[in-house]
Structure 1
Amino acid sequence: MNSGFKRAGTRIWLLFADASMKKKLIVVFLFLITLPLTLTSFISYQNYSRSMQENTETYVLGTTSELLDKLDNYIMDIKRISALPLFMEEMQAKLTQPGRSFDKLRTVELSILSINNIKQDTTSVYIIDNYDELYYNLKTDGVRNDIRDNIPYFRQLAKEADGLPVLLPVQEVEYSSGSKDYVFSVVREIRDAASITPIGIIVFDTSVNVMAKTVNELDAITKGKSMILDQQNHIVYDSDRSYITQNNERWPFLNRLQGKQGSFEVDWEGEPYICTYMTSDKTEWKMVSLIPMKEVTAKAKLNRNVTILATLAITGFALLVSIVISHFLTKPLSKMSKIMKQVQAGNLNVRLHVRYADEVGLLGKHFNQMVGRIEELIGEVTDSRLLKKEAEMRALQSQINPHFIYNTLETIRMMAELNDDEQVAAMTYNLGQMLRYSLTRGNETGTVQSELEHLEHYLYLQNMRFNDKFALKMDVPPELLRTPMLKLVLQPIVENSIYHGYEKYGGSGEIGVSAYQLGTDIFFILSDDGVGMSKELVDKLNDRFDKIIYEQGTGRGIGLQNVNERIKLHYGKEYGLRVESHFGKGTKVIMKIRSSS
């Protein structure tokens, strides 16, 4: 499974990586804008919903407390009213009398009437004396049919309470008129004021309709349903009046009503609700409120929908802005890509028009510089090839006549040996070796040893010509002798020294050749003790060597310049010749080449 996710992630990344820069910028802009906005909206919705839920629970619990206090006060008023017979001496005197006389009936019922008028909502008040005589005042259509059957039960409850009022659970009663109602009752003993002995009981029946106003007020606030439970968790009253007197078996969540108050989420009749409850300290009745979750989160959902619309609007605007911005950002890159294709096709005359000094503009500037540099390098390579061809042509031209002469000299040498003229034969031999070395085609390079041998042949002929005026002193390490090097570079330098340092002035001297290796570079130092050169001429020669300036015509430095050009063409621009000289103190030519050519 992890590998599947990994492959999917890789494919998505490749799709993104292969996309154009414009598409990447649009995706990045949308991601950076919509992700924080979406997360912020989600967190805001969650916090707002939670806050609304908490505030609703707090408010409903506060309202429930107020309504429960009203109900408690109503019941406490009935309990207090139930103590009034203790202060009605005339009624107490009549209740102690046996029988049911007219005078007794009138006195007791007038007392009941006065008691019943204290609370307008009281349904009925019943008084039963110790002789089971029943007296009452009703605000219903008739007497409850089970009143006499319940007298023993009422007496037992009143007796166990020892003079205190007893609150009974809700009961369904039927009246003599045939109508039915649900009532809760308060029962209390009536005691003689003098002897404190029981002389009867008083029963208050109150319709649960007195709770309708309280429950309706709560329902109007919560937009849900409410119910009141007694001490045994029997339903005293509910919003629909459908479950009065039923126990909590129908709704298991009522078993969670622990403690004085609280709230929790519950699923009731297929809908999510918040259940809040509060328990009365006086009656131990519980007022329960079921608040529909949809009502609690209605404003939060409205806020969420507005946020979603705002998010979509901002996302659309961000998409438009990102398209515009990415277009302007990638337009120079697109132009550069097209120009690069033209350069790739060989058109080096194109340039990118740079308008701004940002990173793209800087890139365009460097691109233009790069194309210009490529043009320069191509020009330099072309010039180098032309120079090389020209140098080869000059070398070829210089080899045509010596080649003819070489064959002729071989004939002369053979004739000199036949005539026993060893000196002529030696001169002819050395000249022939020189010509053979220089005329070898197809290979530009020889070895250090072959180059030194060629130099020795040349000096032998010069000494034969000038009566041994020149001495050759060589100091080359043996390990360098087999090193490959460009041919015909030492002899022109020595020839230049003989011609300009000695021959013009008829002098003689010593020519030195030394070499050493430094890293991958080899340095040859060719020195003479001739007349030397002025500083101006030295500077001019070195400047020519650095810039590869070739001047047509004759004059000092032409041979050296040709050697310098060949070295640079073969080894690179950092190699070549360098002249050191002082007038009257000789000349030193330093040649730098690479050891592995």
Structure 2
Amino acid sequence: MKIRQLSLRNKLVGSAVICLLIPLIVVYLVTNYLTRDLILDKAISTAEDTLKVSKSDVNRVFDQMLEISNFVLMNNEIRQMLLVDPSKLGSAENRADTIISSSRLSRFLDDLVLPNKDFYVTILGENNYIYTSYSYSDYNPVQLYEQNWFSELDNIPNFSTYWLGQQNIYYNKSDLNSSNWVTIGRPIKTTAANPIGYVVVTVNERIIHPYLTQSSDQDTFLLDDDGVVVSHVDSTKIGEKMSWWKEDESSKTIEIDGAKYIYVAQDLDSNNWRIVSLISLSSAVAKNKHILFVSFAVQVLFSLVFFVLLTLLISRFTKPIANLIRFVKKIGRGQLDLRSGISGQNEVAHLAGTIDYMLDQIQSMIEQITVEQTKKRKAELEMLQAQINPHFMFNLLNSIRLNILIQGDKESAELIGSLSSLLRMTFNRDNEFIPLEEEVDTVSHYVRLMNFRHANQVRFEVKFASEQCGDARVPRFMIQPLIENAIIHGFEQFDGEIFIDANIRENNGSELLQIFVRDNGIGMTEDKLNGLQAKLDDYEESGDLEKKGFSGIGVKNVVQRLRLIYGDQLHVDIQSEHNVGTEITLEFPLEIRE
């Protein structure tokens, strides 16, 4: 599937979008990070202010309970009444005075308690004196002695208070939902710290929980010093110990069931209980992030306006470029007679003018090339005519050879045939690569002519490992210079033997052609062999190239030519021993003629 390249205009618009979005995102993230603690502190401060109001209301309820109990503790008449033993009153007159005093005290207590109808007061004396602000039909106060906590009142100091939450001993028949109570108990002791009675004040929990702030994202609890719920809007949670409760307030946030909450607590003044508020962190932060969001929205709005203006300007600035691109595409389709027609003093106009000038130059060059091509065809015709002379010479040599052959001089006819083949191979420069068997045939003609020239007998033997070796394509005149070097330098123009072997070997899945050229001439000393090897390893061309013999191509030139063709795939090895002979090995990739 071909992917369409973006135009310059689209790239510029895309770059503008990126340049706008990146600063916006960075500013938002940095601002959010820097203001995170500030927003959290603000949310905590707001929650603490709200919780202080709840604390004040709850303290007022508990203070009323303490005021009632304090009045009982500090009232001398009540103390005297508690100290009276009815069995020791003696006369009827004393008993009547005691009853009158008790009635007067009861009326006084009723006047004190009745305005606080939400509070239930019980006074128990050691001498069976009992006062209650409620009916015995609702609850028999004597049962207080049976409560497991009541015995603790004897162990606390005078004027101390025992606080008890989630007390459910009272049952108000007129109010079936009055099952949860908050109770305080205080001992009434003499100066010798001997208990003479007790005062118990109880308030319905329903009076307290309206003061506990409750909303969809905030939950407020009244907890005792063990973390047990004393008051809550949801009555089912009263008496339940909160697993997240903690005495240490160093951390302002806690995690409950995977959700994070702001934890704010206020200690009550009258006891060790605590009002705790849990506020959803996400909702609290979201409210305080409103200003940040508005600021970010304004930035986005201005960025959009800027982007629209920038897009219009980019469209205007890139319009000449788009026209120039369309113009260049038409030129690419061959419409070289067109001109851009773009004018102005900007860079695009200058570029368009340069292209128009280049088209004028190209038009002129095309006309010049047309003239030169006409001259070239004329020169090629003349060259073709000049080739008639070599063909005439080859035909003439063949005619002479036939004439000598008719006269019975077979040896001279063969020499003239070899000379004709060798000259034809020399003049023919059309084919750079020829089959190996054709190269070897050329070498055989050369050896026959050299034997005739120097009146010696150089024996020439060829051996191919397979038919593929003969069909292998090799560079022209690759072997002939090696044979020429062997005859002139190896045999010093005397008799000798030359062997050419070829085979094919595999290496890493590819086929390589190996050619061995071996003679039994005088060979080379080790110094000469090293010198020749150094020349072959020298890739730089020198002015003193070997140009000896018929071909004018030395051994070094052959190797350099093969390296130009095969590169690192060429392997050359020369082995020589003085008075024994020389062997040259050539190895390169195999190519078979079609």
TM-score normalized by the length of structure 2: 0.51
Give the 5 Å matches for 1:121-136.
123-136=119-132
Contact 1:121-1:210 at 8 Å conserved across structures: no
State the Cα deviation string for residues 26-59 of structure 1 (Å, max 9, x = none). 3222222233334444555676676544322221
Residue 234 to residue 43, structure 1, CA distance change in 2 (3 Å): same
State the shift of 1:81 in Å: 4.2
Structure 2 counterpart SS, 1:102: helix
Structure 1 counterpart SS, 2:143: coil
Q: 1:161 corresponds to which letter in structure 2?
A: I
Report the equivalent of 1:4.
none
Contact 2:61-2:208 at 8 Å conserved across structures: no
Q: 1:169 corresponds to which letter in structure 2?
A: G
Contact 1:122-1:204 at 8 Å conserved across structures: no
Give distance in 1, aligned partners of 2:254 and 2:193.
52
Consecutive unaligned residues of structure 1, counting only runs of 5 or more, are 1-10, 393-597
Q: 2:244 corresponds to which letter in structure 1?
A: F
Give distance in 2, aligned partners of 1:66 and 1:149.
34
Give the 5 Å matches for 1:107-146.
107-116=104-113, 120=116, 123-138=119-134, 143-145=138-140
Structure 2 counterpart SS, 1:68: helix
Consecutive unaligned residues of structure 2, counting only runs of 5 or more, are 87-94, 380-594
Report the equivalent of 1:102.
99
Query: 1:234 aligned to 2:234?
Result: no
State the shift of 1:265 in Å: 4.3
Contact 1:145-1:176 at 8 Å conserved across structures: no
Give distance in 2, aligned partners of 1:378 and 1:306.
67
Residue 157 to residue 80, structure 1, CA distance change in 2 (3 Å): farther
Of 40, 49, 60, which aligns to 1:62? 49
Give the 5 Å matches for 1:154-303.
156-163=151-158, 164-175=160-171, 177=173, 179=176, 180-192=178-190, 197-215=194-212, 218-219=213-214, 223-248=217-242, 252-254=243-245, 257-260=246-249, 262-267=251-256, 273-280=261-268, 282-293=270-281, 295-299=283-287
Give distance in 2, aligned partners of 1:299 and 1:247.
31
Q: 2:162 corresponds to which letter in structure 1?
A: V
TM-score normalized by the length of structure 1: 0.51
Structure 1 counterpart SS, 2:102: helix
Residue 276 to residue 262, structure 1, CA distance change in 2 (3 Å): farther
Give distance in 2, aligned partners of 1:237 and 1:176.
19
State the shift of 1:121 in Å: 6.2
Structure 2 counterpart SS, 1:173: coil
Structure 2 counterpart SS, 1:174: coil
Give distance in 1, aligned partners of 2:143 and 2:197.
14
Give distance in 2, aligned partners of 1:59 and 1:300.
10
Structure 1 counterpart SS, 2:169: strand
Contact 1:142-1:175 at 8 Å conserved across structures: no
Report the equivalent of 1:84.
71
State the Cα deviation string for residues 176-225 of structure 1 (Å, max 9, x = none). 636433221221122346x654321111112223313321xx226x7532
Residue 359 to residue 145, structure 1, CA distance change in 2 (3 Å): farther
Give distance in 1, aligned partners of 2:251 and 2:128.
46
Contact 2:78-2:105 at 8 Å conserved across structures: yes
Contact 2:24-2:300 at 8 Å conserved across structures: no
Q: 1:92 corresponds to which letter in structure 2?
A: R
Q: 2:173 corresponds to which letter in structure 1?
A: S
Give distance in 2, aligned partners of 1:284 and 1:227.
14
State the Cα deviation string for residues 398-439 of structure 1 (Å, max 9, x = none). xxxxxxxxxxxxxxxxxxxxxxxxxxxxxxxxxxxxxxxxxx
Structure 2 counterpart SS, 1:247: coil
Q: 2:275 corresponds to which letter in structure 1?
A: M
Report the equivalent of 1:511.
none
Q: 2:167 corresponds to which letter in structure 1?
A: Q
Give distance in 2, aligned partners of 1:109 and 1:232.
37
Contact 1:265-1:273 at 8 Å conserved across structures: yes
Residue 245 to residue 142, structure 1, CA distance change in 2 (3 Å): farther
Q: 1:283 corresponds to which letter in structure 2?
A: N
Query: 1:22 aligned to 2:13?
Result: no
Structure 2 counterpart SS, 1:78: helix
Residue 260 to residue 19, structure 1, CA distance change in 2 (3 Å): closer
State the shift of 1:171 in Å: 0.7
CA RMSD of aligned residues (A): 4.2
State the Cα deviation string for residues 105-150 of structure 1 (Å, max 9, x = none). 3144234335536x73651111111124321224x89643465243
Give distance in 2, aligned partners of 1:260 and 1:122.
34
State the Cα deviation string for residues 216-242 of structure 1 (Å, max 9, x = none). xx226x753211111121111112222
State the Cα deviation string for residues 447-503 of structure 1 (Å, max 9, x = none). xxxxxxxxxxxxxxxxxxxxxxxxxxxxxxxxxxxxxxxxxxxxxxxxxxxxxxxxx
Contact 1:275-1:288 at 8 Å conserved across structures: yes
Give distance in 2, aligned partners of 1:307 and 1:83.
58
State the shift of 1:376 in Å: 6.1
Structure 2 counterpart SS, 1:82: helix
Q: 1:329 corresponds to which letter in structure 2?
A: F
Give distance in 2, aligned partners of 1:258 and 1:340.
80
Q: 1:190 corresponds to which letter in structure 2?
A: I
Give distance in 2, aligned partners of 1:154 and 1:52.
46
Q: 2:327 corresponds to which letter in structure 1?
A: I
Give distance in 2, aligned partners of 1:351 and 1:226.
83
Structure 2 counterpart SS, 1:169: strand
Contact 2:263-2:279 at 8 Å conserved across structures: yes
Give distance in 2, aligned partners of 1:66 and 1:261.
22
Structure 2 counterpart SS, 1:327: helix
Give distance in 1, aligned partners of 2:54 and 2:278.
15
Contact 1:261-1:277 at 8 Å conserved across structures: no
Give distance in 1, aligned partners of 2:180 and 2:44.
30
Residue 70 to residue 368, structure 1, CA distance change in 2 (3 Å): same
Give distance in 1, aligned partners of 2:33 and 2:372.
76
Give distance in 1, aligned partners of 2:186 and 2:320.
99
Report the equivalent of 1:359.
347
Give the 5 Å matches for 1:316-335.
321=309, 323-335=311-323
Report the equivalent of 1:370.
358
Structure 1 counterpart SS, 2:237: coil
Residue 265 to residue 372, structure 1, CA distance change in 2 (3 Å): farther
Residue 296 to residue 15, structure 1, CA distance change in 2 (3 Å): farther
Structure 1 counterpart SS, 2:9: helix
Structure 2 counterpart SS, 1:366: helix
Give distance in 2, aligned partners of 1:336 and 1:377.
23
Give distance in 2, aligned partners of 1:66 and 1:321.
54
Give distance in 2, aligned partners of 1:327 and 1:28.
14
Give distance in 1, aligned partners of 2:146 and 2:108.
20
Give distance in 1, aligned partners of 2:219 and 2:142.
33
Aligned length: 364
Give distance in 2, aligned partners of 1:42 and 1:152.
61
Give distance in 1, aligned partners of 2:270 and 2:345.
83
Residue 298 to residue 94, structure 1, CA distance change in 2 (3 Å): same
